[in-house]
Structure 1
Amino acid sequence: MDDKIAGKEAEPVAREPTKSDNLTEMLIEAIISGELLSGSKISEPELSRRYKVSRGPLREAMMRIETLGLIERSPHIGARVITLSETQLKEIYSVREALEVMAVRQACQHITSEELHSLKKLLTTHQQHIVDAKGASYFLQSGDFDFHYCVIKASRNQKLVSLLCDELYHLIRMYRTQFSRLRSSPKSALKEHFQIFDALCERDEDLAEMLMRRHIRRSQHLAQEFLVKNKECH
């Protein structure tokens, strides 16, 4: 009997990751980490050899990455990794600030005790990484290992989740990751995350908004500082 006729929805069938899916993730990480340099021309034959894939899955992966804004195409030049620029940085961070401030306010209303417990464990993991790295770096990971990602998810606002965790997420990660070397004190970033966490525990929307806004502006300032110094060097 058809499930819908029986009055119940069919269970969605989980799709196995394809070669193109896996390649997409590898290329995203290569761009975000700087392995594929900002502004560098993309050679399909070279990438095919490097990742041992045919041109079909590679082109499919490239199209997906282009929709994320990590690759740009121009006539007579072809595909390039996007160039990190001060103009784009300001645009991305202004949108990020507005949306993440909204997300943290809504997370104050909706975050569960279980999510707060998981967030505390996550920050403890980040703290241990800083100790192990002797204060040289912050723990920069994606998805459920990313403090900001978890806060956004806790907002329960699917439009915010879509905008920040799908459309803008990888661009934001690219700036955060490649400018993380400027973070003179990862302990300061961790302290700010713990302060935001405490505000979430208290359900204090105004305090959480103020702390998140200040935290993102500090991150933007460091990124702009890097761009200016990099421009001076060239």
Structure 2
Amino acid sequence: MTRADSVFSDLRHRIVEGQIPINSKLSEPELAKYYQISRTTLRDALSRVENCGLLQYKANIGYSVVTLSKEKLMGIFQVRESLESLACRLATAQLNLTDIKQLKMQLQKKHIENAQPIARAKHSVIDDYFYLHYQVVKASQNALLVKLLNEQQFYLIKLYMTTFRPGYTRSSTDYQEYLTILQAMENRDSELAELLMRRHISASCQYIQSAMP
């Protein structure tokens, strides 16, 4: 891992977790001093964080953490609803039964861990929210979909969730919806799997929106 990789990962984490507040302007000299890196290396890392949707750049002003809005959230989820449901339909034809059963086992394991306070403290429930989505998109085996719905774009959604829904309470509902989606995939019912994923993403959007001013 290069120094730019390390700074990129740390900045992304600090923004998503609220350690660097939304709308705040970043000082490149202060960040370069904090990370003990050159401005060139810092700008490489900042550019990559911008590509995740977490930063915005304006000439003569510099980088600042993005502004969050209901309109922007709706745009993100409209794209997700269309493309991830398509990925789910494609993945239904690509995954074998063993792979689907393995996904079920992993989801069950995470659900049990979430019920244990000690285990819960070691990982993020919000990260678990994205687990099935990562797997389904990759399993679609459609290179363009994987590129459009790569792991990085989920960090902006995670920022919305940690900002407006820090005490995530939908995990049990997510779990049941995921199992229903996987059951449809196991039954090779691609149309139902696509519909269920679409409904799940729509419900998730409404859940976040309900907490926004």
Q: Shared fold by TM > 0.5? A: yes
Q: CA-to-partner distance for each residue in 1:16-44, whole Å, 9 max, x for gaps?
A: x2111121122122222222221111122
Question: What residue number does 1:174 align with?
Answer: 159
In structure 2, the residue corresponding to 1:199 is in which secondary structure?
Answer: helix
What is the RMSD computed on CA atoms of the aligned residues?
2.6
Question: The residue matched to 1:226 in structure 2 has which SS?
Answer: coil
Q: Is the 8 A contact 1:182 1:226 kept in 2?
A: no
Q: Does 1:93 align with 2:66?
A: no
Which residue in the other structure is 2:2 paired with?
A: 18
In structure 2, the CA distance between the partners of 1:219 and 1:182, relative to structure 1 (3 Å rule), is farther
**SS of the residue 1:218 aligns to:** helix
Verify the 8 A CA contact 1:20 1:58 in the aligned structure 2.
yes
Query: Does the CA-based 8 Å contact 1:126-1:190 persist in structure 2?
Result: no
- The residue that corresponds to 2:198 in the other structure is 213
Residue 76 of structure 1 deviates from its aligned partner by 4.2
Q: Kindly tell me: are residues 38 and 131 of structure 1, through their superposed partners in 2, closer, same or farther at Cα, counting changes over 3 Å?
A: same
Per-residue deviation at 1:47?
Answer: 2.2
In the alignment, the residues of structure 2 paired with residue 53 and residue 99 of structure 1 have an alpha-carbon distance, to the nearest angstrom, of 39
What TM-score does the superposition give when structure 2 sets the normalisation length? 0.87
What residue in structure 2 maps to residue 70 of structure 1?
54
Query: Letter of the aligned partner of 1:163 in structure 2?
Result: L
SS in 1 for 2:63: strand
Change (3 A) 1:80 1:161: same
Equivalents in 1 of 2:173, 2:34: separation in Å? Answer: 38
Tell me the SS of whatever aligns to 1:41: coil
1:189-211 deviation digits (Å, cap 9, x = unpaired): 11111111211111111221221
Equivalent in 131, 142, 160 of residue 157 of structure 1: 142
Among candidates 171, 194, 212, match of residue 179 of structure 2: 194
After the TM superposition, which of the residue ranges 165-174 and 80-89 deviates more from structure 2? Answer: 165-174
Q: Per-residue CA shift, 1:70-105, capped at 9, x if unaligned?
A: 211224432101111111111111001000110101
1:112 pairs with one of 96, 121, 129? 96
- Does the Cα contact within 8 Å between 1:140 and 1:146 map onto a contact in 2? no
Unaligned runs of 5+ in 1: 1-16, 229-234
Displacement of 1:129 in angstroms is 2.6
Aligned residue among 37, 57, 60 for 1:53:
37
Contact 1:103-1:152 within 8 A present in 2 as well: yes
Work out the CA distance in 2 between the residues paired with 1:139 and 1:133. Answer: 12
Which moved further from structure 2: 66-75 or 80-89? 66-75
What TM-score, normalized by structure 1, do the two folds share? 0.79
Match of 2:13 among 29, 33, 50: 29
Q: Which runs of 4+ in 1 moved over 4 A?
A: 134-138
Q: Secondary structure at the match of 2:150?
A: helix
SS at match of 1:140: helix
